[in-house]
Chain A
């Protein structure tokens, strides 16, 4: 049973436009969510996180939105840049609105930003 789902395996956007990556989860116990970016032959790089007590967190070009009632979160990248082209993973954990380190990952979405 896939508890964290990224239903879009790939996404292509034009440079300068907005990229929206989506993630759904089924386990209502999850209370901390993270987004990672991964280039080939490298480990995942942390981008941004959000705890369940918030519905939005922003860091530069990256914003994560959390809709607890819908069990849905999204990552917005504005403006998108060619260097953003990578695989993006959504991850979730539980343990009191903090990261316990024991993450459940989605399948990933490959983002391509075209110049």
Chain B
């Protein structure tokens, strides 16, 4: 299994500012991802955080808006840049500890409100 922590757990931000969310895993993991859950919606994959290289973004998400870092196998950050109220969501870090076929775990999420 994997224990995932995220910081901050929640924040209220002003539009036009940026927020960096941290994800820490208690063990080295092969695959790490960032998801978003907008109010009343399901979870949507933002990007795959690749260790030592640029993240791979899903359709509709771009690096300028959601820059991601993954300096090692246990840590990643997601930045929400130039925020607008539409960015108000829960942002979740997710990992697959042992490669394809393994169970996928989610962090507790970061609840973001943009005013």
Contact = CB atoms under 8 A, between A and B. Distances in A.
Nearest to A48: B103
Given A99-B100, A101-B96, A46 B105 contact: yes
A41 interface: yes
B76 interface: no
Interface of B: 4, 31, 33, 35, 41-45, 48, 58, 92, 94-96, 100-109, 111
Contacts of B95: 101
Contacts, number: 65
A46 B42 contact: no
Contacts of A95: 100
A100 B94 CA distance: 12
Contacts of B4: 43
